[in-house]
Amino acid sequence: MRSFLLLWRREVGSFFLSPIAYIMSFFFLVVMGVGFGFTVQHLTAGSMSYEVLQNIYASFFPWLSVLIAVPVLTMRSFAEERKFGTIETLMTAPVSDTAVVLSKYFGCLLFYVVMWIPTISYIFIINKFSTTKIALDPGALLGAYLGGLLIGGLFVAIGIFCSSFTSNQIVAAIMSFAVMMMLFMAGLVSHISNIEWVARLTGYFSSLAHMMDFSRGVVDSRPVVYYVTSTAAVLFATIRVVEARKWK
């Protein structure tokens, strides 16, 4: 546990000292802000709180932000270590491979969460300056952020998994972006497919459909289990990749 905390603090420190992390945070908030601006423009009298939350957190803009920001944040996790040769020092230290992988995962996940914190103010800004007050549904708001955390947790795990395969950060970012995009596109397939079993199967893996439900305050145990188990499986696979590559 102590080794994990030391490595985790190292990862967190590297994020908060990295200019790329701050650039991506700025990009994330700018794109989210643009989406928030469109929401304000199209806000009509009598809008329900979950409709506003869907426009803010389940529209095109947060997906664009996450699909670009997460691969850039995670691409350096192992690829940078391999590029600069520090991976050998890390792997020969008296720490387990599990502690190394988990410290990188939770360090990146913490920075991901920090990026989302300023967006909490959006709903209160709407209530403050809108002529029509919106009855804030705490369940829908908590559901939206729970969905963002679960989906982001899986995406961060995928990004670290892809980074463990290569020493090229750009390749790692492209790989993780491609996998995340497939999960996103599954939601579109479920709506356009004429084959019932295909639509049902892709709908189960659809991050887009899940986020729409979460932002309505509908927290189904099935997507929660899916994201938790998938994240654990990807992290387990990452540990095995690190173990295998360590002996090469």
* DSSP-derived 3-state class of residue 96: coil
Please state, in angstroms and rounded to a whole number, the distance separating the CA atoms of residues 77 and 133.
44
pLDDT (0 to 100) of residue 223? 86
pTM: 0.86
Residue 177 pLDDT level (bands cut at 50, 70, 90)? very high
Handedness of CA 235, 236, 238, 243 (dihedral sign): positive
Determine the Cα–Cα distance for residues 118 and 100; give it in Å rounded to an integer.
Answer: 29
Q: How many residues does the chain have?
A: 248
Distance between CA atoms of residues 87 and 141, nearest Å: 41
Q: Tell which wins on pLDDT, 100 or 88.
A: 100
* Tens digit of each residue's pLDDT (9 = 90 or more) over 218-240: 778 888 999 999 999 999 999 99
- Give, for 166, the enclosing helix (H) or strand (E): none
